[in-house]
Amino acid sequence: MDVSGGSGQPRSGNDEPAEHPAGPTAPTTDPADQPDTPGTDRSPDDEGDTPSEDARDGNTGDGDSPEGNTTPADDKAPPADQPHDAPPSEHRSLAHSGIAKGEPPQPRPKEPGGGILMGRPFGVPVYVAPSWFLVAALITWVFGGQLDRVLPELGAARYLVSLFFAVAFYASVLVHELAHTVAAIRFKLPVRRIQLQFFGGVSEIEKEAETPGREFVLAFVGPLLSLVLAGLFYLAMKPVEPRTVPGVLLAGLMISNLIVAVFNLLPGLPLDGGRMLRAVVWKLTGKPMSGTVAAAWVGRALAVAVLIGLPLLNQSGALGGDGTETNGMDTVTDALLAAILAAIIWTGAGNSLRMARLREHLPELRARTLTRRAVPVQTDTPLSEALRRANAAGARALVVVDAYGNPLSLVREAAIVGVPEHRRPWVAVSGLAQDLTDGMRVSAELAGEDLLDVLRATPATEYLVVEETGEIYGVLSAADVERAFVKAMARPSV
């Protein structure tokens, strides 16, 4: 089974909560004048590809900006009461910045855990979740009971053989997931991690396949490898005596891999067969979201079928029993197993729908449209004067610059709110600013997952947004991005 990881909600940094009021403005500014959310509704035609004429005409400023540097009066700035709305598409300083050259983000954040790190095949970390030990113990106990009937002479040693089977089975599951990983790497899709857990394994692929053909291949290689393993174990079993430890182990691994392959080929998300169905519908309709919706609802129907059908099949003997030896405990066990499997499938189908909706709306998150206009001020400028300039120009952010207009730091919104109004004439903006690092310089052209990747790489509350030429475009608040993200996710998919 395969789960595409995607990008979650952007963090709002370490210095303030996401719910912080928007915009570093003077106390006289009415919060109601600011937009409810910095994001704009989705515009399929990307209206407003250049800043509006109002933005150009209304930004004359008051002449107080230092050294004639870029101010809110700059013709690149948007209207004072709304985010920028020019079109979208890490890092050294300004004109020499790697942003303009399309360099990738600098070091990514520390890899998330998820259990015990077992290794890094193909550079992808493999974790064993704590829940694996529970299922390993369950497999050891159940398989040990089967061995007692087949090989009673083993005695207590049967549990050691059963533990070996549990480890070998999950090694087969790892091979299944590595097949997905190798295919993803082949298609240049980043894989966050592989995790072995209670009901199998998960390959967390961070980006979606670009074509339905690649999506089909990416999903199919896992069950294909499980079928190949089942065939190999079958061939290895042929020359071995059936009622021996090697014979029983090989038979068990053959059957378990066959079950894994068949189960994953069922045509419903989040199973591999569901992703294959999604690829087929995507190919026929030309819409990936249509494929996701179809495969997710088939997955939910499959969950209901498992919940009802699995206990009935066990009681009827269709799954190997004779249908006459079942007792109350067996019935409860079958029902519990069916409920767990159904819950996993149903939840996975819902998560797939949410992830698809996320990816559908991600392009709406554009640095250029979410950026706040900024006023450049020098380090010794009193806070009250800086806020006066910002209010006069309709700006909502402050950038501290040197005598030559080069940005040095960003005045933090949380720090401004913490200064009482009567003290602001005696507080310099430099004491409220956060020094700029390379990761805090964001290209105005970034959008969607690329924007979120950059923000995750350097968590902060504010970022300096620059043009490809190195000119200051404004300040991006992580809180604004988060609110726009939540608003986009709340809208139904088209």
Q: Which amino acid is located at 192 in the chain?
A: R
CB 375 within 8 A of CB 397: yes
pLDDT at 456: 85
CA distance 466 to 370: 13
CA contacts within 13 A on the Cβ side of 41: 3
Structure confidence at residue 230 as a pLDDT band (50, 70, 90): very high
Structure confidence at residue 439 as a pLDDT band (50, 70, 90): confident
| Residue 261, token pair as written in the block | 């392959």
pLDDT at 356: 80
pLDDT at 491: 67
Tell whether the model's pLDDT for residue 254 goes beyond 90.
Answer: yes
Tell whether the model's pLDDT for residue 45 goes beyond 50.
Answer: no
CA distance 97 to 204: 32
pLDDT at 142: 84
CA distance 319 to 310: 9
CA distance 255 to 449: 41
CA distance 151 to 145: 10
| Residue 302, token pair as written in the block | 């499959």
CA distance 249 to 233: 9
Segment 338-365, tens digit of pLDDT? 888 888 899 988 888 888 877 777 887 8
Cis status of the peptide bond prior to 270, with omega within 30 of 0: yes
Tell whether the model's pLDDT for residue 90 goes beyond 70.
Answer: no
DSSP state of 316: H
* Cα–chain center distance at 85: 26
pLDDT at 375: 93
Segment 200-209, tens digit of pLDDT? 889 999 888 9
CA-based nearest residue to 73, from 84, 81, 82, 65:
65
CA distance 9 to 485: 7
CB 364 within 8 A of CB 488: yes
Segment 313-343, tens digit of pLDDT? 777 766 555 545 555 556 777 788 888 888 8
Q: Which amino acid is located at 131 in the chain?
A: S
CA distance 154 to 362: 58
Could you tell me what percent of the chain has a pLDDT over 90?
Answer: 46
> Cβ neighbours of residue 384 under 8 Å, at least 6 residues apart?
26, 421, 424, 425
Q: Which of 150-154, 233-237, 442-446 is the least confident region?
A: 150-154
DSSP state of 470: S
CB 34 within 8 A of CB 373: no
pLDDT at 493: 54
CA distance 341 to 331: 15
DSSP state of 469: T
Which stretches of 35-157 are DSSP H helices?
53-57, 130-150
What DSSP element (H or E) covers 201?
strand 200-205
Neighbours of 14 (CB within 10 A): 8
Beta bridge partners of 121: none
Using DSSP bridges, classify how beta strands 191-197 and 126-128 pair: parallel, antiparallel or unpaired: parallel
Segment 48-72, tens digit of pLDDT? 333 333 333 333 333 333 333 344 3
Beta bridge partners of 477: 462
Tell whether the model's pLDDT for residue 5 goes beyond 80.
Answer: no
pLDDT at 357: 78
Segment 367-419, tens digit of pLDDT? 999 999 999 999 999 999 999 999 999 999 999 999 888 999 999 988 999 99
| Residue 124, token pair as written in the block | 């992808």
Segment 261-295, tens digit of pLDDT? 999 999 999 999 999 999 999 999 998 889 999 99
Q: Helix, strand, or coil here: 434?
A: strand
pLDDT at 112: 53
pLDDT at 309: 87
Tell whether the model's pLDDT for residue 91 goes beyond 80.
Answer: no
> What average pLDDT is seen over the chain?
77
CA distance 479 to 417: 15
pLDDT at 16: 37
Neighbours of 72 (CB within 10 A): 30
